[in-house]
């Protein structure tokens, strides 16, 4: 049976073809500065955020059989560049050697060049979005893109400034604020801008935007759970990265509240132990064994169901159905 991701791509195949051509044109001015490392990032992704934008536009437009305006295609390309910019910056902060199964930009070129290349993707993303602007309402979407970039930076800083001595409740609150800013904001932007650019009803724009935000939360939760379950080949990054980087994701926050203060997981997270392979494996198994691990999954599933309820307000269509299918697929099969 075809996966919902493949079904979604087939449903908007002509739009994706236009998106790919637009993205290639948008990257052309950068050609002298891009290397195999950057092309690997652009070539290795699932295009989930642009796909959501195209699906939201089709699900909300008055006549889904019409050709999408070029402004929608530009927005999809812009969103992918903005996403790549965040990936490059994430890898600089994490000092990650790999991304999507390939050498990361910072590993290949050094942090200074990676920072500039990441900034270039963000600037070119704004240029691409602005190139399709036609009305004053569209200008408001440029502001939304800039706001999203600002919130992503805030989310990165929130994560760096999280204090593990905080109570579990405060850590949980900070975690959800961080993933809303780092991840969910681009999912929301994808869906809202897709609907806005086809002049959808305001109620549809709000509902599909909320769907995107909730889907982004569920996506990040599943990604954080996958850090403990996936192999390195599956994840395209090192297994147990969140523990190694002392990043308090929800599974870790709940596990730390359950495990004794002198446990291996606490020692790793508080920096008193740099784990070897055996110790890291023990810590991973310990987090998985806590009842909180299942609770974190239940949270992701509940968020995905809430997202589905949002798109139920849209007119019935194959595009609406695939948005529903994608949400369930995410929590049934993970973010990978």
Tell me, what CATH number does 46's domain have?
A: 1.10.600.10
Is residue 190 within 8 A of residue 183, CB to CB? The reply is no
Which residues of the chain form beta strands (DSSP E)?
A: 98-99, 102-103
* Residue range of the domain that includes 268: 4-333
pLDDT digit string (tens) for the chain, length 336 residues: 678 889 999 999 999 999 999 999 999 999 999 888 888 888 877 899 999 999 999 999 988 889 999 999 999 999 999 999 999 988 888 888 888 778 888 998 989 998 999 999 988 888 888 776 676 767 778 888 889 989 999 998 998 899 999 999 999 999 999 999 999 999 999 999 999 999 999 999 999 999 999 999 999 999 999 999 865 454 445 678 899 989 999 999 999 999 999 999 999 999 999 999 999 999 999 999 998 889 999 999 999 999 999 999 999 999 999 999 999 999 988 755
If one counts the domains in the chain, the total is: 1
| CA pair distance 188, 206, nearest whole angstrom | 10
Pairing mode, if any, of strands 98-99 and 102-103? antiparallel
| CA pair distance 102, 212, nearest whole angstrom | 28
Reduced to 3 states (helix: H, G, I; strand: E, B; else coil), residue 102 is: strand
Is residue 238 within 8 A of residue 230, CB to CB? The reply is no
């Amino acid at each position: 049976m075809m996966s919902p991701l493949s079904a979604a791509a087939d449903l908007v195949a002509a739009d994706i073809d236009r998106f790919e051509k637009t993205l290639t044109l948008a990257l052309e001015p950068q050609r002298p500065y891009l290397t195999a490392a950057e092309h690997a990032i652009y070539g290795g992704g699932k295009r989930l955020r642009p796909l959501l934008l195209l699906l939201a536009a089709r699900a909300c437009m008055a006549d889904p059989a019409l050709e999408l305006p070029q402004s929608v295609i530009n927005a999809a390309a812009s969103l992918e560049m903005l996403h790549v910019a965040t990936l490059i910056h994430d890898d600089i902060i994490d000092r990650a050697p790999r991304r999507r199964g390939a050498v990361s930009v910072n590993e290949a070129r050094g942090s200074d060049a990676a920072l500039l290349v990441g900034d270039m993707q963000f600037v070119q993303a704004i240029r691409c979005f602005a190139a399709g602007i036609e009305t004053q309402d569209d200008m408001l979407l440029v502001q939304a893109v800039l706001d999203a970039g600002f919130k992503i930076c805030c989310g990165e800083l929130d994560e760096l400034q999280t204090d593990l001595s905080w109570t579990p409740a405060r850590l949980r609150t900070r975690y959800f604020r961080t993933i809303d800013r780092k991840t969910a904001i681009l999912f929301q932007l994808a869906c809202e801008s897709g609907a806005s650019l086809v002049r959808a009803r305001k109620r549809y724009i709000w509902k599909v935007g909320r769907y995107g935000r909730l889907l982004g939360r569920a996506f990040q939760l599943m990604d954080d759970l996958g850090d403990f379950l996936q192999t390195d080949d599956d994840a395209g990054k090192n297994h147990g990265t969140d523990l190694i980087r002392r990043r308090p994701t929800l599974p870790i926050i709940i596990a730390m509240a359950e495990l004794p203060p002198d446990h291996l997981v606490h020692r790793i997270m508080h920096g008193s132990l740099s784990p070897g392979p055996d110790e890291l494996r023990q810590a991973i198994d310990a987090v998985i064994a806590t009842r909180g691990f299942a609770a974190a999954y239940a949270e992701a599933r509940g968020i995905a169901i809430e997202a589905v309820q949002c798109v139920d307000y849209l007119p019935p269509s194959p595009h609406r159905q695939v948005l529903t299918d994608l949400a369930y697929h995410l929590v049934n099969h993970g973010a990978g």
